[in-house]
């Protein structure tokens, strides 16, 4: 089980129920590739962004042709991850 799968099962607060939103079939390829590329981050003091040459290599290795839709989906997940990281840093200040 990946880090992201574990996080989805943890309630966000003590009084909350954590009902995961079902994954739409159209988003399954993006999610599968997203899980495969979690070791392909460029890192400085923190996450900087995905290493896209490595992402393309992982996609090719797994027989997933990179389409504009798949690429946009990855960028959306990448942005969301970086934004979540930024918010966590802001809380620590």
Choice among 13-17, 50-54, 67-71, 85-89 with the minimum mean pLDDT? 13-17
* pLDDT of 23 over the 80 cut: yes
Is 88 exposed, middle or buried (CB count within 10 Å of its CB: 0-12, 13-18, 19+)? Answer: exposed
pLDDT at residue number 92: 83
Mean pLDDT throughout 23-34?
Answer: 93
* pLDDT of 63 over the 90 cut: yes
Using the structure block, give the residue that is written with the tokens 């992402």: 55
Mean pLDDT throughout 74-80?
Answer: 95
pLDDT at residue number 12: 60
pLDDT at residue number 91: 84
């Amino acid at each position: 089980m990946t880090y992201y799968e574990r996080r989805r099962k943890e309630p966000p607060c003590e009084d909350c129920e954590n009902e995961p939103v079902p994954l739409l079939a159209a988003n399954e390829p993006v999610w599968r590739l997203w899980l495969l590329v979690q070791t392909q981050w460029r890192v400085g003091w923190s996450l900087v962004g995905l290493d896209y040459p490595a992402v393309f290599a992982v996609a090719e290795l797994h027989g997933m042709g990179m389409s504009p839709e798949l690429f946009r989906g990855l960028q959306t997940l990448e942005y969301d991850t970086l934004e979540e990281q930024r918010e966590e840093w802001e809380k620590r200040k």
